[in-house]
Structure 1
Amino acid sequence: MLNTIIVDDEEFARSSLYFLLQENCGEVHISGIAKSVAEARNLLTQHAVDLIFLDIAMPGENGFELIPYAQSNNAHIIFTTAYDQYALKAIKANALDYLLKPIDIDELKIAVAKAVRFIALNKKENNRNESLQSLAVNLAERNEIRKISLPNGQGYSLVNIDDIIHIAADSNYSVFYFANKDKITVSKVLKEYEEILPDHQFVRIHKSSIVNLNYLKEYNSKNGLEVILKNGEKIAVSRRRASEFVEKVKLYTSFDHDK
């Protein structure tokens, strides 16, 4: 039986993972649930924890900042993330595994079984290396995942990043605009998606706008620098981001030509 904690800032993610573990993984005992890294640190001082299901993108401190505390308490980590781009960093952080949201039951069972085997082998260094190599191979064998999960209040919308035309900031929310004319509003700030999305394809052109260069039709300086997207929308480019934007367009054009 593995003493386990769940760390995630989203209520739906916490409750759904708790339910999935309770219903499908009898090998784990959930000792606590935390909404932040700070709460998770407190749980680590109160409980002997074997395993942590840890979200990465959280306000304030992100999940990676809990790693030193987990390691000092001999707790092992399975990352839970909506962003596949974090996978390589998760490997480097010595995670046992990572799960992409929305979490698949079969993948969860496999990850828990891996954790049970690994911890039962007394956490020997050679076993840790073997686990990491196995995770690296599994990720290398996947086709590149070009999707992210967006929390929508009742669950997650799994979207292809190539379908995103642009993202607009609305106070502490981000509004995603899609090629099919749908839009999704997410209660996360734009900076989180700026850090996650491939920076050769998505460019922050203004404090309130990220655009997908796939949908760039033209840009001009008739009324100050602005972009015109393929859906006809015009968005201003801030003066401080103008030179970076032009360089990104040049790089993207050559990158796209080489594919």
Structure 2
Amino acid sequence: MLNAIIVDDEEFARSSLYFLLQENCENIQISGIAKSVAEARNLLLANKIDLIFLDIAMPGENGFELIPQIQESKAHVIFTTAYDQYALKAIKANALDYLLKPIDIDELKAAVDKAFRHIELSKTSTSKNENLQNLSANLSDRSEIRKISLPNGQGYSLVSIDDIIHIEADSNYSVFYLNNRDKITVSKVLKEYEEILPANQFVRIHKSSIVNLNYLKEYNSRNGLEVMLKNGAKIAVSRRRASDFVDKVKLYTSFDGDKSY
């Protein structure tokens, strides 16, 4: 059993999530319900909590302001929200779970199952705590995501986006090529990272390729449009993405006058 708390300022949201958990997640024991961050802090102090269902948009303090106490308690978090797109990008970038309201039963079950696995993993790893720290840092600078957490089978690799050279699709996996010559394979499709990473820096040039414009060495049309990256990789640009790629390169270089291609 996992000891869980629900934190949400809306009475209907609290009661409906409690009902869904009672009816569908027999391995969850609700140890308390809070309607504010202040009440949640008291619950965390008084109980050993494994899992927190945390709303974001609440009056007074928002859910992110509970992060320091969550880190101390080492609890797993599932955000429950209808919050803005930047926050969702930050949550996804750090491999943390969220459920959009109204909550779907199947998504709730999947999130709880994932929480069980991660809580077992966290007994021998500090990765989840690091992910929360990185989430807090990303949210304090709302300009862009600067780091992402990549699940690696044994935990998470915390990677600066500036260290990503390119990402290649491999069926339902994504392979990250980093500037230290490491490769990390992640069991998520490329589209998820296309949505997370800054669009002015990372460009999808093919259905199976995303490139970081920081590492663009040259592009030419000798054999169809093709890019060469600074690690030596040569990647074709699909015909339907060629115009968008060229436009983004022009825009990118206009803000970085010391680059030449």
TM-score interval, smaller chain: 0.5 to 0.7
C-alpha RMSD of the superposition: 4.1
Given residue 207 of structure 2, which amino acid in structure 1 is its aligned partner?
Answer: K
TM-aligned CA deviation for residue 145 of structure 1 = 5.7
C-alpha change, 1:188 and 1:68, in structure 2 (3 Å) is same
C-alpha change, 1:53 and 1:202, in structure 2 (3 Å) is same
Q: Aligned match of 2:98 in 39, 54, 63?
A: 63
TM-aligned CA deviation for residue 180 of structure 1 = 1.1
Alignment match, 1:245: 245
Given residue 103 of structure 1, which amino acid in structure 2 is its aligned partner?
Answer: K
C-alpha change, 1:249 and 1:32, in structure 2 (3 Å) is closer
What is the CA deviation profile of residues 134-180 of structure 1, one whole-angstrom value per residue up to 9, with x for unaligned ones? x9x99446996621100000100001111111000000000000111
Given residue 79 of structure 2, which amino acid in structure 1 is its aligned partner?
Answer: L
What is the CA deviation profile of residues 20-75 of structure 1, one whole-angstrom value per residue up to 9, with x for unaligned ones? xxxx8653656899xxxxxxxxxxxxxxxxx97238549xxx8352x2449xxxxx
The answer as to whether partners of 2:168 and 2:190 remain within 8 angstroms in 1 is yes
> Is it true that 1:27 corresponds to 2:52 in the alignment?
no
Alignment match, 1:156: 156
TM-aligned CA deviation for residue 231 of structure 1 = 1.3
SS in 2 for 1:223: coil
What is the CA deviation profile of residues 201-221 of structure 1, one whole-angstrom value per residue up to 9, with x for unaligned ones? 000000000000000000000
In the aligned structure 1, how far is the partner of 2:206 from the partner of 2:171?
14
In the aligned structure 2, how far is the partner of 1:203 from the partner of 1:169?
14
Alignment match, 2:111: none
In the aligned structure 1, how far is the partner of 2:45 from the partner of 2:193?
32
Query: What's the TM-score, normalizing by structure 2?
Result: 0.52
Alignment match, 1:115: none
In the aligned structure 1, how far is the partner of 2:52 from the partner of 2:142?
33
How many residues are matched? Answer: 164
In the aligned structure 1, how far is the partner of 2:145 from the partner of 2:160?
9
What is the CA deviation profile of residues 105-145 of structure 1, one whole-angstrom value per residue up to 9, with x for unaligned ones? 8x69xxxxxxxxxxxxxxxxxxxxxxxxxx9x994469966
TM-aligned CA deviation for residue 254 of structure 1 = 1.3
The answer as to whether partners of 1:205 and 1:237 remain within 8 angstroms in 2 is yes
C-alpha change, 1:64 and 1:243, in structure 2 (3 Å) is farther
The answer as to whether partners of 1:169 and 1:190 remain within 8 angstroms in 2 is yes
Q: How does 1:7-22 map to 2 (within 5 A)?
A: none
Alignment match, 1:96: none
> Is it true that 1:236 corresponds to 2:236 in the alignment?
yes
Alignment match, 1:102: 127
Runs (4 or more) in structure 1 with deviation over 4 Å come to 28-33, 55-58, 141-145
Q: Which runs of 5+ in 1 are unaligned?
A: 6-23, 34-50, 71-100, 109-134
Alignment match, 1:3: 5
In the aligned structure 2, how far is the partner of 1:208 from the partner of 1:54?
30
Given residue 238 of structure 1, which amino acid in structure 2 is its aligned partner?
Answer: S
Given residue 229 of structure 1, which amino acid in structure 2 is its aligned partner?
Answer: L
